[in-house]
Structure 1
Amino acid sequence: MTLLIFFILLIILVLAGSTSYAGWRAAPWAPTFKADSKRFLKLANIEPSQKIYDLGCGDGRLVLASAQAGGEAVGFEISLLPYLIAKWRILRSPFKKKCSIKFKDFWRVSLSDADIVYFFLMPKIFTKIKAKLEKELKPGAKIIIYAWPMEGWTPIAADCPTGKTPIYVYQR
């Protein structure tokens, strides 16, 4: 019985630690609302075989939506619980061949082949991610940001309805 309690506590500690680390690195897990996923898809205007990267993909809902829209979607997540949920959702999806989830820190991933990069991250890291995007993205790549604008960039489109979270689209 003591061993069982130890393993349960260990699992809780690992999950809590992983979530805390992800929150410290870029953002806590806060899913994009389902209705806003539709707004993202409209703004993204995904074409077949475009590569979509979701940085900090959480439960994978936008990865799946992007694959369903015809893109090849890859989500990156470092928080264990959302990663496991996303993996499970994708394994059960009919679009599993068009999407994947990586348990990987997006800071250590090259974004050079992405056509669309999406994120819902805290503005405290925007200066750092802006430099990464400017350095790595190919010309013409879209950057779609949920909630906060990128300082110093002018959006090519924005969806900011009253009472809803804004979504900004930029192009490299």
Structure 2
Amino acid sequence: MEWLLFVFISLAVAFIFWVAVFVVFPLLMGASYEVTQDDKMKKMIKFARIRKGDKVAELGSGNGKLVIEFAKLGAEIHGYEINPFLVLLSKWKINREGLKEKAFVHWKNFWSVNLGEFDVVLTFQVGYIMNTLEKKLKREARKKMRVVSNNWKFPTLKCLKQEDKVYYYEINSSNK
């Protein structure tokens, strides 16, 4: 009977840990994990207009799907993810694809990263952080930065292109 209690407590602790790592913590820091649909990914790639040598950031890189696709296009891409399991999965997939020289996933909160060095920023966040994220991007952009957002608009940035809830913006010295 004691082993049954041990199993029950172990499962309860595992469940609480899972909810904390995959639901609560991500929602407090940004969006929860959701895979970008293939049709949306194609639109994000089209809007980003990747050129060889571009440096790209993905804010909340999830399973590494976009990181891998953008690296295949020749970009140096850095994904920032707070879920350690998704970071490990992404790194494994990057290694399997042979993209270790172009694709990097960091176990790091993107709020602590200076995004000014990037040519392109990709995001699939949640509505309530878009205002704060817009301020961060405007503050840190040092050159013309192309920003592609999946599903959520920025509150004051002028959207230059929009298709199926994928939004394209440019931030430069004239619209900071």
Shared fold by TM > 0.5?
yes
Alignment pair present for 1:88 and 2:87 = no
Flag structure 1 segments of 5+ consecutive residues without an equivalent.
161-165
Aligned positions, number: 167
Flag structure 2 segments of 5+ consecutive residues without an equivalent.
172-176
Select the residue among 34, 59, 68 that pairs with 1:55.
59
Larger Rg: 2
Alignment pair present for 1:149 and 2:148 = no
Q: TM-score, normalised by structure 2?
A: 0.86
Q: TM-score, normalised by structure 1?
A: 0.87
- Cα drift, residue 7 of structure 1: 7.2
Alignment partners' CA distance in 2, 1:143 and 1:129? 11
Judging by fraction of residues, say which structure has more helix: 2
Select the residue among 79, 88, 105 that pairs with 1:101.
105
Alignment partners' CA distance in 2, 1:8 and 1:87? 28
8 Å contact kept, 2:151–2:166: yes
Alignment pair present for 1:35 and 2:34 = no
Identity of aligned residues (%): 25
1:132-147 equivalence runs, <5 A: 132-147=136-151
- Cα drift, residue 139 of structure 1: 2.7
Alignment partners' CA distance in 2, 1:4 and 1:112? 49
RMSD: 2.0
Corresponding residue of 1:16 = 19
- Cα drift, residue 44 of structure 1: 0.8
